[in-house]
Amino acid sequence: GENVEQHPSTLSVQEGDSAVIKCTYSDSASNYFPWYKQELGKGPQLIIDIRSNVGEKKDQRIAVTLNKTAKHFSLHITETQPEDSAVYFCAASRGYQKVTFGIGTKLQVIP
Amino acid sequence: EAGVVQSPRYKIIEKKQPVAFWCNPISGHNTLYWYRQNLGQGPELLIRYENEEAVDDSQLPKDRFSAERLKGVDSTLKIQPAELGDSAVYLCASVPPGGGGTDTQYFGPGTRLTVL
């Protein structure tokens, strides 16, 4: 089955700095790579995703890159704000049917 | 549009007691997932339904866990008897038919179970 590794497990940045979270996956057939943000006491919420036919995708301060050859993908958050503090999960799947999540990264943005 | 609804939000029970969690997915979403999220970990799939059919229950510990989605809408996850190691957040998620074109899973707030 799919195995997703995520690092770092914790990340502290100063407000305004950038944050990068990296993930690797094992199943070359995976074609969908979502990123979820989970705030305390809430369920995960999709913030951005990328498919295997795209190398990079950007949405305002958030971007995701995918290297299919190396089987790794990364989340980049620029100009971090205190409200970006949360746990971020990467995931890999073949569509919506079987999604494997990473262990999560706890991001702390220090004002 | 209402999101995924789960109840209860919190549950504390003694070990060996039974417990049940309820999920109502977003209207029109025929795919429903139950996940378990241990502290400091990502969600792990327990079971996936397509309408009323459990199409992936390979990770469900069937000796003590059961689930049902009788009419293909809301679903119940049961543990009987509960063990200390079952303490976790139980998340429900749903997806529109065929992935809805985006494959995005919509999660409920979860039920936090504590087994004493």
Contact B110 A43 (CB under 8 A): yes
Question: How far apart are alpha carbons B28 and B46 in whole angstroms?
Answer: 22
The pLDDT of residue B1 is above 80: no
Contact A102 B42 (CB under 8 A): yes
The Cβ-side half-sphere exposure at B68, using a 13 Å CA radius, reads 5
pLDDT on residue A75: 98
Q: What pairing do the DSSP bridges indicate for beta strands B5-7 and A105-110?
A: unpaired
pLDDT level of residue A53 (50, 70, 90 thresholds): confident
Strand partners, A6: A23
Taking the CA of residue A8 and the nearest CA in chain B, the distance in Å comes to 13
Q: For B31-79, how does the pLDDT look when each residue is reduced to its tens digit (9 = 90+)?
A: 999 999 999 999 999 999 999 999 999 999 999 999 999 888 999 999 9
